[in-house]
């Protein structure tokens, strides 16, 4: 009798533990799905939604359902990519296979990328300081700087438009800069979206 009671007790305890674990797991699966869905639906406001989803999905657990964190993460990703591209272009500009005209365009482009980095860094800094009393001013600064970053990226690409430029270098630079410009455009759309829903 005591044996069977113990067995039953043991069985019920195991059952309860299993149920608890299952509920916890389902909850976390549920919130992961919710976070990923939030990223996907927020990306519909951007011009390059597929790039938006691929670049931001890995940050879904951090973003959860916050449009502010999403915009912040988009800026972080853009800054990291722009940095990597600037490093690559500095290295490329030292290559002795380039013509003087290409080297000079490359240097101009690196300078414009430097401005882009500065504008993105300032925006990220103010994004972290946004609060009630300074909200309007900071948000307007951020919108101005991110737009300026986009303009600088376009200026860089224009330097590579001429026919005298080597095809490979031109294609490489244009593709890299276009990628950064698309990330920047998406970040700006997410910032504008966040600004429009905040009352
Ligand atoms: C953005 O980058 C900063 C500095 O690296 C980091 O502290 C912050 O958590 C990041 N924020 C998001 C939302 O990715």
pLDDT digits (tens, 9 = 90+) for 62-77: 999 999 999 999 999 9
Are the CB atoms for 110 and 86 separated by under 8 Å? yes
Atom of ligand 1 nearest to the CA of 63: 13
- Cα separation of 6 and 3, whole Å? 5
- Cα separation of 2 and 108, whole Å? 86
Kindly tell me if the per-residue pLDDT of 196 is higher than 80. yes
CATH architecture of 3-197: Up-down Bundle (1.20)
Tell me which of 31 and 78 has the higher pLDDT. Answer: 78
Q: Is any atom of ligand 1 closer than 6 Å to the C-beta of 66?
A: no
Residue from 74, 75, 76, 121 whose mutation best tests the ligand 1 pocket (most atoms within 8 A of CB):
76
* Mean of the per-residue pLDDT values of the chain: 87
Are the CB atoms for 51 and 99 separated by under 8 Å? no
Most confident of 75-84, 107-116, 159-168: 75-84
Q: What is the mean pLDDT of residues 133-142?
A: 86
Who contacts 166 (Cβ-Cβ below 8 Å, separation ≥6)?
98, 99, 102
- Cα separation of 22 and 152, whole Å? 52
Residue from 64, 72, 77 whose mutation best tests the ligand 1 pocket (most atoms within 8 A of CB):
72
pLDDT score, position 120 = 95
Kindly tell me if the per-residue pLDDT of 33 is higher than 90. no
Q: Is any atom of ligand 1 closer than 6 Å to the C-beta of 55?
A: no
Q: Give, in order, the Cα–Cα distances in Å from 110 to each of 81, 93, 124, 184.
A: 14, 9, 21, 17
| Residue with CA at minimum distance from ligand 1 atom 2 | 76
Q: How confident is residue 15, by pLDDT bands cut at 50, 70 and 90? A: confident
Q: Is any atom of ligand 1 closer than 6 Å to the C-beta of 103?
A: no
Domain boundaries, the chain: 3-197
Encode the chain in three state secondary structure.
Answer: CHHHHHHHHHHHHHHHHHHHHHHHHHHHHHHHHHHHHHHHHHHHHCCCHHHHHHHHHHHHHHHCCCHHHHHHHHHHHHHHHHHHHHHHHHHHHCCCCCCHHHHHHHHHHHHHHHHHHHHHHHHHHHHCCCCCCCHHHHHHHHHHHHHHHHHHHHHHHHCCCCCCCCHHHHHHHHHHHHHHHHHHHHHHHHHHHHHHHCC
């Amino acid at each position: 009798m005591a044996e069977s009671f113990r067995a039953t007790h043991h069985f019920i305890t195991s059952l309860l533990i299993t149920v608890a674990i299952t509920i916890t797991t389902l909850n976390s699966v549920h919130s992961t799905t919710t976070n990923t869905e939030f990223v996907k639906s927020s990306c519909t406001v951007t011009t390059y939604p597929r790039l938006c989803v691929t670049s931001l999905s890995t940050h879904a657990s951090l973003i959860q359902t916050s449009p502010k964190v999403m915009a912040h993460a988009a800026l972080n990703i853009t800054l990291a990519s722009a940095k990597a591209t600037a490093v690559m272009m500095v290295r490329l500009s030292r290559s002795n296979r380039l013509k003087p005209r290409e080297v000079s365009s490359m240097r101009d482009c690196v300078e414009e990328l430097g401005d882009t980095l500065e504008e993105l860094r300032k925006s990220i800094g103010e994004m972290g300081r946004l609060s009630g009393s300074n909200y309007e001013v900071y948000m307007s600064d951020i919108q101005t700087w991110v737009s300026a970053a986009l303009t600088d990226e376009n200026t860089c690409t224009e330097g590579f438009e001429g026919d005298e430029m080597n095809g490979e270098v031109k294609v490489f630079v244009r593709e890299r800069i276009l990628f950064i410009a698309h990330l920047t455009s998406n970040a700006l759309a997410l910032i504008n979206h966040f600004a429009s829903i905040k009352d």
